[in-house]
Amino acid sequence: MTNAEPVEEGLGKRIWSRKAALLLGRNTVVSTFVFLIGLALLWLLVEFAHVDKLLAAGATFLVANSLHYALGRAWIYRGTQRGMASGYGLFLINAMIGLGITIALFDLFIRYTAIHYLVSRVLVSVVAGLVMFLSNAILNFRRL
């Protein structure tokens, strides 16, 4: 290797970089916005349409993630070389992993704790959100 060739930083350095902080900040804004929309839809489905809580959580999670992809591609991961269709496909695969984490943890909370289902959903979103952010930033959009 010559001095002219760039040296790629390790994953740990990339995750703890200023760029990662900027992406995480933008992701947090978008995630919060779409999460609140999803939470409102969850509440409407459970309280007024009497949809099962787990089914409603899964459905609203997918709606929110589709909106997140559109906003994320335009603002969080702006400039990505990933194609629109392939990026959305990978985003949905990632969302399925996030959905699995979300539903499993949400189920544990509503079965084994007295925590209200909406509070449980907020707590679960932190864990699932971080996993999804990292996998999208590193693997899908390749911005870290």
Query: Confidence class of residue 8 from pLDDT cuts 50, 70 and 90?
Result: low
Tokens 């335009």 locate to 74
Lowest mean pLDDT among 3-17, 57-71, 111-125: 3-17
What is the value of pTM for the model shown?
A: 0.74
Classify residue 1: in a domain, yes or no: no
For 96, the domain range is 11-140
Q: Is 79 exposed, middle or buried (0-12, 13-18, 19+ CB in 10 A)?
A: exposed
Between the CA of residue 136 and those of 68, 91, 97, what are the distances in Å?
12, 7, 12
Question: Is residue 107 situated within a structural domain?
Answer: yes
Q: Tell me the pLDDT tens digit for each residue of 49-87.
A: 999 998 998 889 889 888 999 999 999 999 888 998 999
- Asked if residue 87 belongs to a domain, the reply is yes
In a domain, 125, yes or no: yes
How many distinct structural domains can be found in the chain?
Answer: 1
Count CB neighbours of 116 within 10 A: 11
In a domain, 39, yes or no: yes
